[in-house]
Amino acid sequence: MSTPLASIRSNAVRKQSVLLLGGTGLVGTACLRLLARDDRVSEVRQLVRRASGAAVTGLNATNRVVEHLIDYDWPDADSDVFDVDAVICALGTTIRTAGSQAAFRKVDYEYPLRIAGIARRHGASHFAIVSAIGADPHARTFYSRVKGNVEEGLKKLDYPTLTIVRPSFLMGERTESRPLETIARHLGVYLPLKWRSISVERVARALVTEVLSDDTRGVNVIENDELHRAPPLCR
Q: Is residue 21 scored above 50 in pLDDT?
A: yes
| % of the chain surpassing 70 pLDDT | 80
Q: Is residue 58 scored above 60 in pLDDT?
A: no
Q: Domains in the chain, start-ordered, CATH in brackets?
A: 14-229 (3.40.50.720)
Q: Give the pLDDT of residue 175.
A: 52
Q: Is residue 7 scored above 80 in pLDDT?
A: no
Single-letter amino acid code for the residue at 13: V
Whole-model pTM?
A: 0.86
121-173 tens-digit pLDDT = 999 999 999 999 999 999 999 999 999 999 999 999 999 999 999 999 898 65
String of DSSP letters for 183-221: HHHHHGGGS-TTTS-EEHHHHHHHHHHHHT-SS--EEEE
Distance separating alpha carbons of residues 157 and 144, to the nearest angstrom: 21
Give every CB contact of residue 117 below 8 A, 6+ residues apart in sequence: 157
Q: Report the 10 Å Cβ neighbour count for 162.
A: 22
Q: Are 16 and 85 in contact (CB under 8 A)?
A: yes
Tell me the β-bridge partners of 165.
130, 222
68-121 tens-digit pLDDT = 999 999 999 999 999 999 999 999 998 999 999 999 999 999 999 999 999 999
Among 160, 161, 165, residue whose Cα is nearest residue 147: 165
53 — pLDDT class (breaks 50, 70, 90): low
Q: Give the pLDDT of residue 3.
A: 44
Read off the pLDDT of each residue in 20-25 and give the average, rounded to a whole number. 94
29-50 tens-digit pLDDT = 999 999 999 999 999 999 998 8
Give the gyration radius of the chain's Cα atoms: 18
Handedness of CA 91, 97, 101, 102 (dihedral sign): negative
Q: Is residue 184 scored above 80 in pLDDT?
A: no
